[in-house]
Amino acid sequence: MADLFWSNINTDPKRRFRFTLNIGNIPVWTVKTATKPKVNVGTVEHQFLNHTFKYPGRVTWDNITVTLVDPVDPDLAWTFLQKLRKSGYDYPTSSNIRGTINKKESVEQGLGGIVIAQIDADGNPIEQWFLQNPWIVSIDFGGQLDYGAEEMNEITLELAYDWAEIKKHGKEAR
């Protein structure tokens, strides 16, 4: 009789609620949700007579979305706006403003290293995603305020990156 996966006590599926997100110096306890990296391979078609042949094209990585609780201290709304300003954005308060956002400053002064880790029941990483050259694409500071609501204020970030590398059990996937 073949071994069945449910009879093996060492088999444990990855759980969606077992994760950590390290995003610069932002406290890990403020993170509520995060999307994992997603890769796409483009398709190039070539037509010959009545046939269409497909070939793999360029690889692109989709943006990820992170939702965080916005505490009073540290004030994440203020923190993320300062990171955006360090990336090159400034308020248009004078006529001699010349700076613009650029990738170098966005990556170096922005978020720092971003690591999404799925962990086991003991808190050990079993899968780690390292986002390369991440920067802020959009910040939603909490949407609609409501006198009838009791929920915590949340900040949603959309983050772009050039590519992601994965490590499984401390080994880099190649």
User: What would the pLDDT profile of 35-47 be if each residue is shown by its tens digit?
Assistant: 999 999 999 999 9
According to DSSP, the residues that pair with 157 across neighbouring strands are 66, 139
Let me know if residue 63 belongs to a domain: yes
With beta carbons less than 8 A apart as the criterion, state whether 82 and 105 touch. Answer: no
Q: Please, what is the end-to-end C-alpha distance for the chain in angstroms?
A: 35
Tell me the whole-structure pTM to 2 decimals.
0.85
Q: Which letter does DSSP use for residue 4 in this model?
A: P
Identify the CATH number of the domain in which residue 165 sits: 2.30.110
In a domain, 114, yes or no: yes
Exposed, middle or buried by CB within 10 Å (0-12, 13-18, 19+), for 10? exposed
Average pLDDT in the 52-58 region? 95
Q: Is residue 120, in this structure, part of any structural domain at all?
A: yes
Average pLDDT over residues 57-79: 95
Residue 99 falls within a domain, yes or no? yes
pLDDT on residue 100: 86
What pLDDT, on a 0 to 100 scale, did the predictor assign at position 171?
61
* 5 within some domain: no
pLDDT of residue 107: 85
Q: How far is the CA of 144 from the CAs of 68, 138, 158, in angstroms? A: 16, 17, 18
Alpha carbon dihedral 21, 129, 62, 112, in 10-degree steps, equals: 60
Give a yes or no: residue 29 inside a domain. yes
**In the chain, how many domains are there?**
1
Q: Name residue, tokens 């046939």.
A: 51
165 occurs within a structural domain: yes
CA–CA–CA angle 99, 103, 108 (5° rounding): 95
Going along 62-119, which residue ranges are E strands? 64-69, 114-119
Residue 4 included in any domain: no
Residue range(s) defining the domain that contains residue 119: 13-172
Amino acid at 155: I
pLDDT of residue 139: 95
